[in-house]
Amino acid sequence: MDPVVTATGLAFAYGDIVALHGVDLEVPPGLIGLVGANGAGKTTLIRLLLGSLQPARGTITVMGRRVRDEVLEVRAHVGYMPEGPCLPPDQTAADFMVYAAQLGGLPIRAARQRASDVLTLVGLHEERFRYMGEFSTGMEQRAKFAQAIVHDPDLVLLDEPTAGLDPEGRVEMLDLVTRLDEFGINAIVSSHVLTDIERTCEWVVMLDGGRVLRSAPLTELSVAEEVELQVLDDPGRVATALRGAGAEVTVDGTELSIRHPDGDPFEIVRDVLAELGDGMRRLGSRRTTLEDIYLGGGNDG
Amino acid sequence: MAEGVVFDLGYQRHEGPRLGRRGALRALVYDGLRRVFGLRRKLRRKVMPFLLVAIAVLPALFFVAIGVIAGEFDASATLFGHPEYFDLTGAIALVFCALAAAELLVPDRSAGTLAVYASRPLTTLDYLAGRAAALAAVVLGFLYLPHVVLFFGRAWVSPQGFGTHVVDNIEILWQTALGSAVYMVAFAAPAFLVAAFSSRIAVSAGVYLGVMTISGPTSRALVDAGFDPLGLTALQHHPGYVKDWIMGSSTRTWIPEDAGFDAWVSLAVIAVATAATFAVVVARYRRSA
């Protein structure tokens, strides 16, 4: 499948502060996570995708269109949910959605129909005639999400969609994001909450200091490759035996983390414990999380 | 009896036409028109614009009503011909411009809605042109509507008959339209400029009204002190001077006129100031994009 976003040597700086250092990136269709700490370059990358910033160097293509040459065509097929506020408080949700759809290029009749459909989809149908200034944070986030998809884009850019939401609101928002895939809408979800990305996305792009740490399928990043073992007796003796059998072992109290580059770590644990005659309390695979990879500088997994 | 069935149609993709930039621009202008008059917004947002329109139109209706009662419109008795009517509505138009320009630009910035525009098929220039077009349309309408009421009201009560009056005085329609356009450009451009740099509607309106109001007396004092070129800083006086030039009237002595400038110089000042204003506003929005 054709990539949704392709960036080649993409660089951008705010004065002397370099935000992106020659980023090369190819993002497939689907739900894509864009993770990184504050200042990693996530929002800058999103604004470059929208064409509201011009790169100092390099090229960027969205849905097969070069942003520099066809920015309006790109924007007609892209939706954007900004991190900050974007809703006029003195307009009703229904009116604003119709307007947002028209701004996306939809004729008035289609805009009205889609505004109604999308507000129902995000659970704001009952609130559609309320002024948005009266909305709670959760309703505001859902209205922001609605305006991003009301003109039926092929790609939607969601900047911190769960920001400020309580746990229940967070779950609802993540469910909405997950459903984009079934609607046939690609999404790039920018977040520094790694568990949100793990829950919703199939592919993850990790940014750090304006550089791409990783760009890979989430399944590839979070394979079970390490086991965790909790022993009943002396962990030092077990660790020594495991190392002797070729495993890499780290010890933390009575817990051992074991990697075995040349084979199945479960088998080596079984053999060593049987040989020593030691008991164990718990044995299980340790799933590599995005957090592990991120804190490890993107080299794990 | 068949029971109702709920069909989950799921998400429907839009298969119809997309109007692109043209459609977006049209929506932007219509939104601007609605916004200035507070349409589809809370009642209190409608009060001020409609009150100002009423104040601007009421004198025209009043003079027509007198004509109806008296059986004839006596322009000399009322002292209010079309040129004088501009002087009457000018001050009200200033307030209207101040509020309209602020209403069009300030909320989009303060509510963060510019982020939505930045993700739609519109350029910065499109956005500003759309807002400026809405401002121009409402201010032009505001200034011209009373003249239309006055003109056709006079025709209605004219002893010559409606048709004859209209045909004999048809030049008034284009002269007042042109005069309204000059007032619109001269008043709306600075309002647009101030609104582009303000973060609150009240501040924007206050600063604009303050600058426009104070420019007259300040300029007058400078001209009286012998600094004639500074007569061109009387912002409120340029459109009136040009209006008198267009209509062949002389309703009062305008400061640029006192300073020795011809009416075309005032027209040139308006044109240059408007072009410069738009350039500054575009640069401001591009820099903050």
Query: Which of chain B's residues have a Cβ under 8 Å away from the Cβ of A144?
Result: none
Half-sphere exposure of A181 (CA within 13 A, CB side): 15
Picking from A48, A103, A156 by the largest number of B CB atoms within 10 A of its own CB, the best residue to mutate is A103
Closest residue in B to A176 (Cα) is B11
- Interchain CB contact of A80 with B (< 8 Å): yes
Which of A85, A95, A182 is the closest to B111 by Cβ? A85
Which of A71, A100, A121 is the closest to B116 by Cβ? A100
Do residue B24 and residue A183 have CB atoms under 8 angstroms apart? no
Burial of B20 per CB tally in 10 Å (0-12, 13-18, 19+): middle
pLDDT of residue A300: 45
Do residue A151 and residue B12 have CB atoms under 8 angstroms apart? no
pLDDT of residue A257: 87
Do residue B118 and residue A90 have CB atoms under 8 angstroms apart? no
- Interchain CB contact of A169 with B (< 8 Å): no
Query: Which of chain A's residues have a Cβ under 8 Å away from the Cβ of B45?
Result: 90
Its pTM stands at 0.86
Please name the residues in contact with A282: beta carbons below 8 A apart, sequence gap of 6 or more. A228, A229, A230
What is the number of H-type helices and E-type strands within chain A? 11, 14
| pLDDT tens-digit profile, chain B (289 residues) | 445 555 556 788 999 999 999 999 999 999 999 999 999 999 999 999 999 999 999 988 988 888 777 766 555 555 578 999 998 898 999 999 999 999 999 999 999 999 999 999 999 999 999 999 999 999 999 999 999 999 998 888 888 889 998 999 999 999 999 999 999 999 999 999 999 999 999 999 999 999 999 999 999 999 999 999 999 999 999 999 999 999 998 888 899 999 999 999 999 999 999 999 999 999 999 987 6
Above 90 in pLDDT, residue A213? no
A59: tokens are 């090229």
Do residue A76 and residue B123 have CB atoms under 8 angstroms apart? no
Do residue B11 and residue A183 have CB atoms under 8 angstroms apart? yes
The residues facing A131 across adjacent strands are A92
- Name the percent of chain A in helix, strand, coil, to the closest 5: 35, 30, 35
Do residue A80 and residue B119 have CB atoms under 8 angstroms apart? yes
HEC string for chain B:
CCCCCCCCCCCCCCCCCCCHHHHHHHHHHHHHHHHHCCCCCCHHHHHHHHHHHHHHHHHHHHHHHHHHHHCCCCHHHHCCCHHHHHHHHHHHHHHHHHHHHHHHHHHHHHCCCHHHHCCCCCCHHHHHHHHHHHHHHHHHHHHHHHHHHHHHHHHHHCCCCHHHHHHHCHHHHHHHHHHHHHHHHHHHHHHHHHHHCCCCHHHHHHHHHHHHHHHHHHHHHHHHCCCHHHHHHCCCHHHHHHHHHHHCCCCCCCHHHHCCCCHHHHHHHHHHHHHHHHHHHHHHHHHHC
Do residue A95 and residue B117 have CB atoms under 8 angstroms apart? no
Query: How many angstroms separate the CA atoms of B95 and A166, rounded?
Result: 45
Provide, rounded to the nearest whole percent, the portion of chain A with pLDDT above 70: 94
pLDDT of residue B287: 86
Q: What is the predicted ipTM?
A: 0.89
pLDDT of residue B79: 54
Phi and psi angles of residue A121, each rounded to the nearest 5 degrees, phi first: -60, -40
Do residue A107 and residue B17 have CB atoms under 8 angstroms apart? yes
| DSSP-based three-state secondary structure for A296 | coil
The confidence band for A132, taking pLDDT boundaries of 50, 70 and 90, is: very high
Residues A274-292: tens digit of each pLDDT: 988 888 888 887 766 667 7
Closest residue in B to A70 (Cα) is B121
